[in-house]
Amino acid sequence: MMSQLSISARVSQLHKAVFFEFAKRIGQRMITLALSLSTASLCDAQSADFEVLVGPLTAIDLQFMDRQRSRVEAFANRLGRGLTGNVDRDLDTLQRILDEHIVPASDTLTLQAMGLVFGDLLGGRLSMHWVVYRDRKGRSRALRFRDLDVFLFPITMISRRQELGSDRRLRPLFDETVAETKPRLPGAKWFH
């Protein structure tokens, strides 16, 4: 009579052992890759030659900016107005929102949303477009003229002034920003 050979659970369930070993290796590789990428990006951001990186808006940026515009539109609707893209009318609407204290100075997110709308108006007047701007201080959305190094940062133009208690009118701020930016643009002497 022959004695029966015992079979260990590991051998009898070989397919499970192979799967878990494979999953373990993939997990280790993913962790290694994630660490190397994060270390590389930190090194790049902190290296001496890191200055400015400019890129297109992401889908998340576009979605967030649309929500910000909608937020300002809702405040404009409270005044019986809407955002039209017309500089004079929209600046007046933004100014009324501030004058009637519909948005408190502590509501930075809404004030920055108003800065976005203000930036849309500047971009339209100066033929500038929105980009993502990264430097040592962080990531921002900025207006850029073509592919040149001419940038504006209108998102914080209203919020910073309101948080400091400034009662600066938006129309002169808009006109001064346009006047200061035009000479920096190519063909500025022809720009009217």
Checking if the pLDDT of 98 tops 70, the result is yes
Sign of CA dihedral 96, 153, 129, 43: negative
- Asked if residues 103 and 97 have their Cβ atoms less than 8 Å apart, the reply is yes
Kindly report the CA angle at 90 between 86 and 94, in degrees rounded to 5? 170
Q: What percent of the chain has pLDDT over 90?
A: 69
What mean pLDDT do residues 158-176 have?
95
Tell which wins on pLDDT, 186 or 120: 120
- pLDDT for position 14: 56
Q: Under a CB-based contact definition with an 8 Å cutoff, are residues 55 and 144 in contact?
A: no
Give whole-number Cα distances, 35 to 20, 26, 40, in Å.
Answer: 22, 14, 8
* Full strand arrangement of the beta sheet holding 151-152: 53-55, 128-135, 138-145, 151-152
- Which pLDDT score, from 0 to 100, does residue 1 have? 54
Fold of 53-190: Four Helix Bundle (Hemerythrin (Met), subunit A) (1.20.120)
Domain boundaries, the chain: 9-46, 53-190
**CA distances (Å), origin 76, targets 65, 79, 90, 96, 120:** 17, 5, 9, 9, 16
Q: Is the pLDDT at 78 greater than 70, yes or no?
A: yes
Could you report the per-residue pLDDT of 27-59, keeping only the tens digit for each? 566 555 444 444 344 444 444 566 899 999 999
Q: What is the overall mean pLDDT for the chain? A: 84
Closest of 130, 134, 148 to residue 53, by C-alpha: 134
Q: What is the mean pLDDT of residues 70-79?
A: 97
What is residue 188's predicted lDDT score, i.e. its pLDDT? Answer: 65
Query: Looking at the DSSP assignment, which residues form a beta bridge with residue 135?
Result: 138
Query: What is the pLDDT at residue 63?
Result: 98
Is the pLDDT assigned to residue 182 strictly greater than 50?
yes
Report the DSSP beta bridge partners of residue 141: 132
The amino acid that residue 170 corresponds to is L
SS3 136: coil
Asked whether the predicted pLDDT for residue 23 surpasses 90, the reply is: no
- E-strand ranges in 41-137 read 53-55, 128-135
